[in-house]
């Protein structure tokens, strides 16, 4: 019998066999699914938890371009261009743990005047910067590109770029880039007899005293060249006098003067115990105003100083001609 004739005669039986096989496999798959579900439902919760695949938690993160902007797209080695806060703090020097007296001398500048007070806010320092110009500053201020950190009676500490340096009164920093001359041996000089200082002798340098004139008890004239010499060498004043802030009811009311006999300020009519209230109408009850008064004194044509003496106001006038 040919295959075609066999298929035609047994088509019904072949079709029924195929349906039976298909039904068998379908029933077998369904039974496996039911058995798996029954076994899963009957397992303890811990076992079911391990069987499940934990999905990663979803976080709503706002998109930001900061990670891209913080690095160089053409450099894969350097890393972020903006340091982390901890790295930035680590890069700054902690000056509080260092001994300020071991700080190196500042490379430029010279302290020519220091007025120190128990209140740090009333301590001033005049620093001669490059070009011979003198700037007056106090703690927290800027002088010649440096920040004034602290003012002592004989030196000033300054900071710049996380580094600290110090300037001693009267000493130039770094020799202004010049090599110190080598000391040459000198023959000993014969001892000179020093004349004993007579009472009432003036401490004012002769080149300045010769250009001063007393007009009255409260008015004086001085040549401008002599006044410029005083500003260039303020130690002429600071070595023979002192100004101390006077407190009344927890407020500064002026500067109490301590004047040495024969000093320059005595030649201008000031006395020990005088309370300086103002200079050229600038009230001296605030350190910032005191700095402004000192700055203007170098260019004003006259100085009008109001002092309180024995409870009464006295006006002293100095004409700069």
Q: Are 136 and 291 in contact (CB under 8 A)?
A: yes
How confident is the model at residue 309, as a pLDDT? 94
Residue 317: pLDDT band by 50, 70, 90 thresholds?
very high
Number of domains in the chain: 2
Place of tokens 């014969």: 190
In this structure, is residue 300 part of a structural domain? yes
Same domain for 301 and 215, yes or no, is: yes
- Report the candidate in 274, 261, 257 with the shortest Cα–Cα distance to residue 218: 274
In this structure, is residue 113 part of a structural domain? yes
| pLDDT tens-digit series, residues 209-228 | 999 999 999 999 999 999 98
Same domain for 221 and 312, yes or no, is: yes
Same domain for 225 and 314, yes or no, is: yes
How confident is the model at residue 45, as a pLDDT? 55
Q: What is the mean pLDDT of residues 250-272?
A: 91
Q: How far is CA 271 from CA 67, 91, 306, in A?
A: 69, 53, 13
Q: Hey, is 211 helix, strand or coil?
A: coil
Most confident of 125-134, 225-234, 261-270, 287-296: 261-270
> Percentage of the chain with pLDDT > 70?
66
In this structure, is residue 231 part of a structural domain? yes
| pLDDT tens-digit series, residues 32-57 | 666 666 666 655 555 554 544 455 55
- Picking from 176, 197, 230, the residue at the C-terminal end of a domain is 176
How many other CB atoms are there within 10 angstroms of residue 305's CB atom?
23
- Rounded Cα distance between 276 and 285, Å, is 10
In this structure, is residue 31 part of a structural domain? no
The stretches of the chain forming alpha helices (DSSP H) are 3-9, 11-42, 45-51, 66-69, 85-91, 206-209, 224-232, 235-238, 264-267, 287-297
In this structure, is residue 41 part of a structural domain? no
How confident is the model at residue 171, as a pLDDT? 72
pLDDT-wise least confident of 227-231, 232-236, 258-262: 232-236
Please say if the pLDDT value at position 269 is more than 80: yes
- Picking from 158, 176, 194, the residue at the C-terminal end of a domain is 176
Q: How far is CA 140 from CA 6, 16, 149, 168, in A?
A: 113, 104, 6, 18
Same domain for 268 and 315, yes or no, is: yes
In this structure, is residue 197 part of a structural domain? no
Q: What is the mean pLDDT of residues 124-130?
A: 79
Decide: residue 122, CB within 10 A, 0-12 exposed, 13-18 middle, 19+ buried: buried
pLDDT: is 66 or 267 the higher one? 267
In this structure, is residue 144 part of a structural domain? yes
Q: What is the mean pLDDT of residues 165-178?
A: 67
Please say if the pLDDT value at position 85 is more than 60: no
Q: What is the mean pLDDT of residues 262-266?
A: 92
In this structure, is residue 145 part of a structural domain? yes
Q: What is the mean pLDDT of residues 19-29?
A: 73
- Rounded Cα distance between 301 and 321, Å, is 7
The distance of Cα 129 from the centroid of its chain, to the nearest Å, equals 19
Domain residue limits at 122? 103-176
Please say if the pLDDT value at position 319 is more than 50: yes
Average pLDDT for the chain = 76
| pLDDT tens-digit series, residues 180-215 | 344 444 444 444 444 434 445 678 899 999 999 999
Residue 292: pLDDT band by 50, 70, 90 thresholds?
confident
Same domain for 316 and 219, yes or no, is: yes
Which CATH number characterizes residue 258's domain? 2.30.42.10
Which CATH number characterizes residue 112's domain? 2.30.30.830
Same domain for 211 and 312, yes or no, is: yes
- Picking from 154, 176, 198, the residue at the C-terminal end of a domain is 176
Same domain for 165 and 223, yes or no, is: no
């Amino acid at each position: 019998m040919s295959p075609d004739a066999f298929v035609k005669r047994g088509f019904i039986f072949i079709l029924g066999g195929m349906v039976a096989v298909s039904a068998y496999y379908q029933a077998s798959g369904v039974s496996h699914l039911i058995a798996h579900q029954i076994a899963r439902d009957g397992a303890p919760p811990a076992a079911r938890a391990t069987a499940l695949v934990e999905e990663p938690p979803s976080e709503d993160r706002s998109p930001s371009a900061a990670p891209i902007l913080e690095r160089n797209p053409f450099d894969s080695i350097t890393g972020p261009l903006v340091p982390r806060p901890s790295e930035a703090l680590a890069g700054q020097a902690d000056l509080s743990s260092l001994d300020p007296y071991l700080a190196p001398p500042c490379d430029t500048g010279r302290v020519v005047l220091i007025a120190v007070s128990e209140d740090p806010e009333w301590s001033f320092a005049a620093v001669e910067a490059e070009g011979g110009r003198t700037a007056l500053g106090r703690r927290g201020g800027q002088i010649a590109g440096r920040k004034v950190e602290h003012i002592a009676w004989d030196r000033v500490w300054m900071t710049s770029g996380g580094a600290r340096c110090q300037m001693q009164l009267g000493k130039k920093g770094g020799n202004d880039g010049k090599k110190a001359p080598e000391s040459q041996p000198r023959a000993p000089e014969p001892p000179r007899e020093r004349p004993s200082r007579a009472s009432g002798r003036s401490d004012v340098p002769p080149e300045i005293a010769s250009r001063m004139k007393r007009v009255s008890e409260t008015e004086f004239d001085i040549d401008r060249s002599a006044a410029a010499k005083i500003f260039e060498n303020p130690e002429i004043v600071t070595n023979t006098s002192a100004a101390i802030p006077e407190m009344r009811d927890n407020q500064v009311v002026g500067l109490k003067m301590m004047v040495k006999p024969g000093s320059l300020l005595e030649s201008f009519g000031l006395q020990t115990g005088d309370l300086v209230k103002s200079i050229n109408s600038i009230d001296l009850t605030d350190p910032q105003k005191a700095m402004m008064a000192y700055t203007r004194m170098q260019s004003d044509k006259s100085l009008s100083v109001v002092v309180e003496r024995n409870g009464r106001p006295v006006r002293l006038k100095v004409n700069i001609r």
